[in-house]
Amino acid sequence: MYVGAIFFPLLGATISGFLGRWIGDRAAQWSTVVCMALAAACGILAFIETVMGNGATTVRIATWMNVGGLEVAWALRYDTIAAVMVMMVTFVSTLIHLYSVGYMSHDATIPRFFAYLSLFTFMMLMLVTADNLAQLFFGWEGVGLASYLLIGYWYEKESANAAAMKAFIVNRVGDLFFMLGIALTFHVFGSIEFDVIFAAVPQHLDTAFLGVPALELVAVLLFLGACGKSAQIGLHTWLPDAMEGPTPVSALIHAATMVTAGVFLVCRMSPIFEYAPTALAIVTFVGATTAFFAATIGCVQNDIKRVIAYSTCSQLGYMFFAAGVGAYQVAMFHLFTHAFFKALLFLGAGSVIHAMSDEQDIRRMGGIWRKIPVTYGVMWVGSLALAGIPFFAGYYSKDAILEAAFAAHSAVGMYAFVCGMAAAVLTAFYSWRLLILTFHGAPRADHHTMEHVHESPAVMLLPLLVLAAGAIGAGWLFYPSFIGAGEHAFWAGSIHNAEHNHVLHDMHEVPAWVPIAPAVAGAVGILTAYVMYMFAPAVPAMLATRLRGLYLFLLNKWYFDELYDRILVRPTLATARVFWKTGDARIIDGMPNGAAALVAEASRGAVRLQTGRVANYAFTMIIGLVIFVSLFLTGLAR
C-alpha cells in the first residue's frame, strides 16, 4: 500500500515511455491511467491507515549512501502531512491523466506525453514522502526535470522551448539556496535525517554561523529555495510562461504538484521555522506581497490560462503568509482545497480551449455558455471556490488564512491581512472578468470557430465533475480535522507548533467582522466585474485609456521580465560575447592558430625556393660560398 502509492506512477511511466511504440497509443494511455488509479487507491488507503489506524510509519527501501558521517537511506516517511500530500497528489493526478486521454487524443506522440506526466507525479511523491533532505532534494530536482520536459513537450514551438528553459534556469537560482540550506543543516546538526534534525533543534537555539543564528540562516536558505519552486515574487517569472505546455500539464504543475512543493517544505521544516522568527517574518512579507502582486496582474491578462496561472501565484502567497504567521496547518488546508478548485479551473479552461478550436484569448470568445453548459457550470464552481464564497472549499481555507494573519498580532501579520483582503477583492474581480468575457456577451470569435463550438467528451467531463464535487465539499468536510477541534489528533505531531505559538487558538477569537470580511470582499469584486463587463462594457476601455500607465504596468507584469533582461540577460550576453570573440576566438584560438599560420607561410616561402633547376641550386651555393668567404676574410682582417 505505502510503496504502491509511490511506485505505480513510475511503473506507468516506464510502460508508456519504453513500450509505448510497440503497444500503441491507446494501450499507453490506459496503462498509465490504470497505474495512477491504483496509486490513488493506495494513497487513500495509506491516508486512512495513517490518520485513523496505526499512525505514522516509515518504510525503509534501501541504503542510498554511507560516506563518512553522512548516511542517507531511501525511505518512505508516512506521517499525516505526507499522507495528506500523497492522497491529494495521486487523486488529482489520476483525474488529470483521465482528462488527458480525451484532451491529447489527437497528439502525435501520446506515449511520450503520458510517460512525462506519470514521471512528474512519481517525482512529486518521492519529494513528499522523503525521510531526509537528500531524498527530498532528489524529488525536488525530479519535478524540475519533469516540468522542463512537459512545458517544452511541443518542442517544435520556439516559445515552448524558451519557456521550458526559463522554468529550468529560474528554478536553479532557488535550488542553489536550497542546496546551501541542506549543507548548513548538515554542518549544524551533523545529519540530514528529519528525525535527527527535529529532535536536536532545542540544542541549537543559540548556535551561530558566521555571527548569525544558525536556525535563522537555515530557515531563510530553505525558504529562498521554496521561492523558486513555488513562484514567489522575484522568482515567479517562469510560472506564466509554463502555460506553453499542454493544459493538463498546467493543471498538474499548478494544482497538485510542483508549485506546492515549497509550501510543503516550509511546513515540513516547521520545527526549525518555529524558532526562526526573522525567517518567519520574511516568509510572511514575501507571501503577502506575492498574493497582492499576482492578483493585480491577473486583472488585466487576456490569455485564459495566464489569468489562472497568476491566480495560482497569488494563492501560493496566501499559503506562505499563513505559514509565516505560524499557522502551518491552515497553509496545508488551503494547499489541499486549492488543489481541487485550481485543477478544476485549469481543466475547465482546457475544455473551453478544446471547444474554441485552440483559441486562448478571452477577448475572442463570448456567447458560448449555452453551447458548453457543463464546462460553464464547473467553471462557476471553481470560481466560487477561488473567490471564497460561502460555502465552497476556498471559503473555509482562505478565510482561515486571513483570520490567522489578523490573529498574529504583529505588524507583518497585519500587513499580510491587508494584502490578503485586497487580493481577495481582486481575485473575485478577475475570476468573474474571465467568466463574463469567456462565456457571456456577443460572440467575438469568427463565424467558423463559433460553428464548431462543442462540449467536451465524457472522458474529459467526468474528471471535471469529480473535481467540482471536491471544490464544493472539501472545505466543510475536512475543516474540523485540518484546523478545527480535531487538528491536534489529526496532525499527530507531523507539524510542530512551539509553546509561544498561539495563532491557531487566537484565530478562533478574532472580532466578529474578520470572518465576514473576506466574503464581503469577494462579493465586492464580483459586483465590480459585473458592472464593468456586463452592464457598462465601455468602462474597462475607458479606464485603460485614462490610466494607461498603470494599465501597461500591470499588463507587462510589473516589468519584471524587462528588468531582468536589462540587468541580467543583456550584461550576461555581452560578457559572453566578449569572452567568445576576444578570449576564445582571438586569444585561445588565435595564438596557436597564428603560430600555425606563420609556420605555414614560412613553408610556402621555402617551397618557392625548391624550383628543381640545377642552375638555380648552383647559383645559390655560389652566393652562399661568397658570403661565407667574405665573412671569413672580414674576421681575419680584424
**Which secondary structure element, helix H or strand E, spans residue 160, and what is its range?**
helix 158-189
Handedness of CA 411, 219, 320, 329 (dihedral sign): negative
How many Å is the maximal CA-CA distance in the chain? 122
pLDDT at 304: 93
Tell me the residue length of the chain: 638
* pLDDT tens-place string over residues 151-173: 999 898 899 999 999 999 999 99
pLDDT at 638: 62
In this structure, the strands spanning 70-78 and 208-209 are unpaired
Q: Using CA atoms, how far apart are residues 24 and 30, in angstroms rounded to an integer?
A: 10
End-to-end CA distance of the chain: 106
How many CA within 13 A on the CB side of residue 124? 34
Rama region for 60: left / alpha / beta (φ>0; ψ in -120 to 50; rest): beta
**Which residues have CB under 8 Å from 417's CB, separation 6+?**
402, 405, 406
How many CA within 13 A on the CB side of residue 404? 30
Rama region for 230: left / alpha / beta (φ>0; ψ in -120 to 50; rest): alpha
**Which secondary structure element, helix H or strand E, spans residue 63, and what is its range?**
strand 57-67
Mean pLDDT per 10-residue interval, the chain, length 638 residues:
94 94 91 96 94 87 82 90 95 95 90 94 95 94 93 90 92 94 94 93 91 94 94 90 87 82 95 95 97 95 93 95 95 95 94 90 91 95 94 93 94 96 96 94 85 90 96 93 89 91 89 93 95 90 91 93 91 88 77 76 74 76 84 73
Are the C-beta atoms of residues 131 and 59 closer than 8 Å to each other? no
AA letter at 283:
V
Q: Using CA atoms, how far apart are residues 29 and 65, in angstroms rounded to an integer?
A: 36
- Provide the whole-model pTM: 0.90
Three-class SS state of 196: helix
Q: Using CA atoms, how far apart are residues 386 and 342, in angstroms rounded to an integer?
A: 8
Residue 508 CB-density burial (10 A; 0-12 exposed, 13-18 middle, 19+ buried): middle
**Residue 236: C-alpha distances to residues 130, 136, 270, 337, 558 (Å):** 25, 22, 23, 22, 12
pLDDT at 637: 64
